[in-house]
Amino acid sequence: MKPVLKIRNLRVYYRTKRGIVKALDNVSFDVYRGEILGVVGESGCGKSTLGLTIMRLLPPNAKIISGQILFNGVDLLKLSNEEMRKLRGSKISMIFQDPMTSFNPLMKIGDHVLEVFKYHEFNDLEKAKEIAVKILQKMGLESGRFYDYPHQLSGGQRQRVMIATAIAMKPEVIIADEPTTALDVITQAQILKILRELRDEIGSSIILITHNLGVIAQIADRVVVMYAGKVVEVGNVDEIFSDPKHPYTQGLIRAVPKLSPEGGQLQPIPGSVPDLINPPSGCRFHPRCPFASEICSKEEPPAVSLNGRLVYCHLYKR
């Protein structure tokens, strides 16, 4: 399989009053065609920054220090603003976390979907409308909804409309930033089902950013585990869940509540997420790591390949 998106040595820093926040530090991974890639990590580990960096929608106080984002071989970070605008929504699109505030309250649902076609020089409005109605129907919204305003829809319906706008132009990559966080569990399951069907139908790659391991387990093919602005482990979803290698991944999986009677007590990871203004030296997880040794606080762990999986940990260094 060929990667559609290659991210290499990406560093993104935020300028703040307290200092420079190293939100992404040397992040590299690939996204293959037609896969659902889960990006998982705690709040503030740089997941959302990653999504915004790929879209090049970072706030003005953020700076991309170095790195490449290769989309079909073209470095997105080198495109002009206008070239990037043309890619957004047509080749790479994004689904946001909060469906309640992601719509212009004064625009009808149908117009939200139609807008995408207008942005990308799809001028046959009749045909666009036909497609828009069809997509909305596929999302389970009857055609009468086309003329409703966002406030007339429920959260789940709005999230489906947002997905409809994101896929209207059949993009190659869809970035879903916590698409289910604001929804109840049943709606969440519907949305995940829709995402999976989409992938099968139009063959887009989906980058699913979430802090919810359950969501990842349900639909992702591969997982990127992030901690404090760095990638700690990359691998297939089954392997990561059945045999986590990195101590942080192990901790994360242990910290998920289990419903079985022998589940016992929850085992949280001790300590808290480090301050990204002054991250710990060496491996950023070492202050909380049960296996930390002397080298961990001194040297950054290299990427170690274990049967197709990547682990950034000194434990596995040969």
Which one of 1-9, 102-110, 284-292, 299-307 is the stretch in contact with other proteins (CB under 8 A)? 102-110
Distance (Å, rounded) from C-alpha 10 to C-alpha 18? 23
| Contact pick of 1, 106, 186, 259 for other proteins (by CB under 8 A) | 106
86 binds other proteins (CB under 8 A): yes
166 binds other proteins (CB under 8 A): yes
120 binds other proteins (CB under 8 A): yes
Which one of 86-94, 204-212, 231-239, 301-309 is the stretch in contact with other proteins (CB under 8 A)? 86-94
Instruction: Give yes or no for a contact between 156 and 187, defined as CB atoms under 8 angstroms apart.
Output: yes
| Contact pick of 41, 67, 89, 156 for other proteins (by CB under 8 A) | 89
149 binds other proteins (CB under 8 A): no
Distance (Å, rounded) from C-alpha 313 to C-alpha 318? 11
Q: How many residues does the chain have?
A: 318
Which one of 161-169, 206-214, 220-228, 251-259 is the stretch in contact with other proteins (CB under 8 A)? 161-169
Continuous H helices in the chain: 47-55, 81-87, 109-119, 125-138, 155-167, 185-202, 213-219, 237-242, 247-254
27 binds other proteins (CB under 8 A): no
| Contact pick of 8, 33, 85, 108 for other proteins (by CB under 8 A) | 85
Q: How far is the CB of 302 from other proteins (least distance, A)?
A: 35
Provide the 8-state DSSP code for 175.
Answer: E
- The structure tokens listed for 203 are 């063959």
41-80 residues near other proteins, rule: CB under 8 A: 55, 57, 60
135 binds other proteins (CB under 8 A): no
Instruction: Give yes or no for a contact between 204 and 34, defined as CB atoms under 8 angstroms apart.
Output: yes
- The structure tokens listed for 138 are 């596929």
Provide the 8-state DSSP code for 88.
Answer: B
Q: How far is the CB of 202 from other proteins (least distance, A)?
A: 17
Distance (Å, rounded) from C-alpha 110 to C-alpha 287? 51
Beta bridge partners of 227: 230
129 binds other proteins (CB under 8 A): no
107 binds other proteins (CB under 8 A): yes
Q: Coil, helix or strand for 177? A: strand
- Residue ranges in contact with other proteins by CB under 8 A: 55, 57, 60, 85-90, 93-94, 96, 98, 101-107, 115-116, 118-120, 162, 165-166
